Structure formats: C-alpha cells, structure tokens
Structure 1
C-alpha cells in the first residue's frame, strides 16, 4: 500500500502521533493519576476517530477493503470519558464505583459490534454495510454520539460552574486551579457537536455523505489542545470537591465555642478589618430571622486567626488549614464567612492581603521596598494575581495607587 504525501495526510498523521505520545505521558504521570488516565483514554478514542479520517484521506480504504469495519470506532466514549475526567480532576478523592460502568454501556456495545465484524469475511461485512449499517446502525451510532456528547458536555459544564463557586469558598489562591482551559476545551467540543449536527442534516435530508465533513479536522485540533494543555495542568491533590455537599448551609452541630474576652468599649476597626468587611452599613429595623444567623464569637475567632495570627500571609491558605488552626468545622467556617462577613473565603483572605499592602504603602519607609516585595510579604505569590485582585478591590492598579500614596 502507498500513502500519497499531501498536507492533509501529513497533518492527520502528525495529530495521531502526537495524541499517542501525549496519551502515554498522561497515563504515566505521577500526579492527577486517575483524571489523567481518563484524559489519556479520551485522547486515544479521538485519535482512533482521526485515524479513520487518515485512512479516507490517504486512500487506504480503497487500496485495502479489509480495513473497513476495523475496530477503531469508540465515539460513544467521548462524552463519558470527558465527564469522568472533569469529575475526578476536581475531586482528588474520586473512587470508581461499579454503577459507573452504565455510562460506558453504549460504547461497549459499539466496540463489540466492530470487533465481531473485524473477524467476518469481506462478503459478510459488505452485506452488513449495504443492508444494516448504512440504513440503520450508522445513523444510530452517529446520532447517539452527538446526543451523548451534548448530554455529557452539559453535565461537565454544570459541574465546573459548581466547582468554581466552591473554589472561591475553600482556597485563597485559585489562579492555577480555575480550569479555564478546560472550559475552552468544552466550548471547542461544542463546536464539533455543531459540525456533527450539520453533517446529520446534510446526510438525512440531502443524502450527502462526507461532502462537508470537517469534524475530523476539528477533533484533530481538540486532541492537539488536550495534548499540550492537559500535561501542564497543576497538581490537584489539595482539591476535594464533592458536588453533593453544598456550602453555605448551617451545620447541624457546631460544637462548643470558647468564650471570648469582652472589651469594655467597642474598638475602632483597623485598616485590615475595614478593607475585609467593607464600609459600615446603616442599621436596619430588626426582623424575625428565618434561619439561625452567624455566631459573633465564631466570626471573632476567624478574624483573630486571619489577622492576629496572620494566616492571610500564607499564600496558599485553604479553608481546611483555617479549620485545623481554629478547631472549627470547615462547613461552619464556610457558612460564617459567607453569611457573617458577606464574602467568599477567597475574597475575605485577599481583602486582608490588599489592606496589608495599602497599610505598607502608607508607611513612611514604603519606598525602601519594591511593590512586588510588599505584595509577596502580604500573602500574594503571583504578580498577575496581585495586580488583578488589587485592581478588583480598589478600582486602581497597584502602580497607580502607589503613586498616589
């Protein structure tokens, strides 16, 4: 067999080779092991789909009819593998359960069909193509792949939205954990789904097969992006997001709270406290609460841990670490921060950090230190994150604020 050299054949071969290499690296990666294996399987399944396009573009199908019905079609696994990749990536404690096999039932049937056909004589395969596959099973396979991918794309996007909200309530530094690249990947897969819908309409209503088929090229772009970005994903061992556990609910049992010393007179709020809690609001008439409110003693204990013990200066402070320091349940802290301080955990901690930067810039010896040095000593560990958060909270870029200080 001869493979003609053209841009398309070279590009498709390069994509397949890159996908196989990247999938091998992901499968052997020492961190994010479970999620990376799901991603490696997804890359392998997409690479096999691209291989079908390579066979068509190179004319190998015409040179060797036995290549037809090779067991390279596992498209019904695209959606489930993507969903379980997202699910295991945002929860380091993810464990496989027997019930999850139901998600892969359709692709197991798809694989069984092609493996059975692979060992049949050419006459049987040709008869199957003419009388069964083209009029029936091809449609079921194609439409099923489209429906499956759309359903699991929706589930994955919903899970990522929930994860984004949870992330703000559990981590003070989220720049490497946001998974923005994964959202773009899901959008790209949605574009592929749109292309498949166009192919479906052209085939069903106009009888056009492969006339305007760009899904192979689009999937090639998808697998190329996965290979580059998936390998650069940050270590997610600290992330344990369980979607069924919604934050912000009052825990049933909060445990004993140590009494705090009562001041003789209310203290003047410090710069840090003012920045973290925002400007004072006018007192509203009291109304009967519909649910228990935050305990002021819990709020004070959280404030003391962050301000007096300077936990906000820990650049990677998490809700779990604050819980361990205070001895308070993480869910109780999350509820108190949201309901009492009116902020997410991320905003609260970064509010203290920004206030510390402002305090340091107002000090007489501020010119002795660099702006970035002050930011790092205040708890930030990234120039980009510092600039973004400072401007978000003050309305001015750090350099502008420094010039006016």
Structure 2
C-alpha cells in the first residue's frame, strides 16, 4: 500500500471513529434537546458508515464481492436528517410523526431498493447486454455510469438546508421565539454542508461533462477528506452544544394586561426621552417606578415583555445613546470619554465598560467619532 493511501486511510478512520463516539454520546445523552441530538447522532452514524465503506474499498473490499451486496447506499437520507435536526432543535416538544413525515424518507427508501436491484444484476450478468433485462441494463448504466447518486444526494442536501435556514430565519413563532445568537453554530453547520454539497455537485458535473466521468482518485480523496473533517467538526460542535436551550417561551397576555403594559411603556419612554431620567446616577427600579407612579413589579413586567430588556440594560441603552450625542457635540471635544460617560448617567468606570461591552459588543473607545 502506498504511503499516501495509508495516510488517507488513517485520516478517514479518525473521522469515522470520532463520528461514532460523538454519535453514541449524543444518542444516549438525556437533556431537553434529546430528539435533536439523536437526529444529529444519526447524521454522524451515516457519515461514519460512508467513511468506513470507503476505507474498506481501499483494502480491495466491496468491488463485486460479498461486501458489494452488503454495503448499500444511504446517501439520500442526509438532507432529511439535517432538516429534522434543525426542526427538533428549534421546535419545543417536537416529535417525528410517521403518518406525516414519512415522505421525507421516501428518497432513501427508493435509493435502497434501487441499489439492491442494480447490485442483483451481477447474478445475471455474463458479459453480454442480452443477459440483462432492459430495466436491469439501463438501470445499471444510469446508476453506475452517470453521476446520478451524487447529483441527487447534493440536490437533496441543498434543498433541505434551504428549508432548515428558513426555520432559523423565522425566529418568531406564536408561543416562543428562537434566541438568535444561540443558533449561529447551527447556521455555520448548514452553511458548510451547503457549500460542500455545491462543491461535490460541481466536481461530478465537470467530470461527467468534460472528462467522460472518469472520477479518478485525484479528487475523490479531497471529497472524502472533506467528509471526514465535517464528521469530526459536526460531532464536536454537537457535543459542546448538546444542552443549549435556543428557544424562549413567550408570555401570552390578554387584552387588559397588554393595554396596561403598553401604557406603562409610554410612561417609561417619556421619562427617558423627555425627562432624561437615565442621567440620575443613583437611578434604581424603585425610583424609576415612583417617578412614573407605577408599581415596581409592573415596570419589571413591562421591561421584560414589551422592551425585552432588564432594568439595567434598558437604562444603559439610553445612557450610551446620550453619550454618543455628547461625543459628537463640538463643545465637548476637550472632555474625556469617561467624564462624558458620567454626564450621561454612568456612576463608575467599571459599570460603564461593562455596559458598553454587553450592549454593543465593542470596547468603549469604539464610541468615539
């Protein structure tokens, strides 16, 4: 065996083993994301299976021997599993309903049956076209001499990833909403898998159209290396995020409560915009509530449900906006950033730095014009 092939086998083996290990951990992990993690584990199992098949082929197994009839194709299941992984992760109490969701697994069932049919043609093949039926002959040609498997696999992955991205983009549902920053890792996974599918699609089509579908190992290796890397990375991401909660339930308000909280919200905006109450360095929830003649618990409820902010973040948002105005005023050019921060209502350097970092994601120096 050549050194390059040996290195290739070792690399694929690492990806396959890691995929199996992470898959087992995710499958048996008991947490609120159990169903989603099991779909992710299934993706890892099928990726690992594919890598193992390729490894055995490098040892000469699977080419028209007993293993040829055992190693069946399951490539058309990836897209559906990706879709249900995202759906389960972003939908509380998700359950796979066979009576409705079975259609998504129809492609892999068709692939399984067709693959079996094509492989059984070897029992009848005697080297002549006449030894096979019309369907057997042309089925074999389409399956083995055209890039049918790869094109349909890539197309299904791309289609289902687009459906999954639509779920992530929706964010706001009737009784809950998706926490955007906690879905970035899922978006990364979808993006990588989508571009990987596009690359495979481009490679096999170029090979078929311009090189008579030679599909030699020179670029077969990079494709499988990519799958090994994705398998390892996918398992690692899933393992690290296996307990993340990315949804937040909404509090359903009746009309009376909604009208009451909207009235309080108007008072709060007036206190901030017109009275500039936020400039009070000693401002507390109690003093703010008293200034608008409302009970503290109602103000807290209004901040949480109407403004989607806690008290400190709500007040500091206005302070930061005020600071930006002060920094842009020519008459304040001789004042330091910290002195103007105190003028805007902050009462310490530490609280100022902390608030700016939390609400803007940047350091205070980025506020300067």
TM-score, L = length of structure 1: 0.62
Q: 1:220 aligns with which of 216, 228, 244?
A: 228
Offset at residue 122 of structure 1 (A)? 5.5
Aligned pair in 2 of structure 1 residues 38, 123: CA closer, same or farther (>3 Å)?
Answer: same
Offset at residue 95 of structure 1 (A)? 2.3
Q: State the alpha-carbon separation in 1 of the partners of residues 152 and 295 from structure 2.
A: 54
Offset at residue 104 of structure 1 (A)? 0.6
1:216-263, Cα deviation, whole Å (9 max, x unpaired): 221111111111111111634461689xxxxxxxx9972464597999
Q: State the alpha-carbon separation in 1 of the partners of residues 294 and 71 from structure 2.
A: 59
Aligned pair in 2 of structure 1 residues 303, 154: CA closer, same or farther (>3 Å)?
Answer: farther
- The farther-off stretch of 52-61 and 353-362 is 353-362
Unaligned runs of 5+ in 1: 243-250, 275-299, 313-321, 324-332, 338-344, 379-385
Question: Where in structure 2 are the equivalents of 1:85-234 lying within 5 Å?
Answer: 85-97=85-97, 98-114=99-115, 123-124=123-124, 131-138=137-144, 139=146, 140-163=148-171, 175=181, 177=182, 179-197=183-201, 198-211=203-216, 212-213=219-220, 214-233=222-241
Offset at residue 273 of structure 1 (A)? 9.6
Match of 2:215, SS state, is coil
Give the helix-richer structure, 1 or 2. Answer: 2
On the 8 A contact 1:83/1:156 being kept in 2, the answer is yes
Aligned pair in 2 of structure 1 residues 237, 47: CA closer, same or farther (>3 Å)?
Answer: same
Q: State the alpha-carbon separation in 2 of the partners of residues 49 and 309 from structure 1.
A: 54
On the 8 A contact 2:40/2:85 being kept in 1, the answer is yes
Q: Larger Rg: 1 or 2?
A: 2
Offset at residue 144 of structure 1 (A)? 1.7
Q: State the alpha-carbon separation in 1 of the partners of residues 53 and 297 from structure 2.
A: 60
Please tell me the root mean square deviation across aligned C-alpha atoms, in Å.
4.6
Offset at residue 114 of structure 1 (A)? 4.3
Aligned pair in 2 of structure 1 residues 400, 100: CA closer, same or farther (>3 Å)?
Answer: closer
On the 8 A contact 2:56/2:62 being kept in 1, the answer is yes
Match of 1:68, SS state, is helix
Offset at residue 49 of structure 1 (A)? 1.9
* Residues matched between the structures, number: 315
Unaligned runs of 5+ in 2: 281-291, 324-337
Q: State the alpha-carbon separation in 2 of the partners of residues 388 and 133 from structure 1.
A: 60
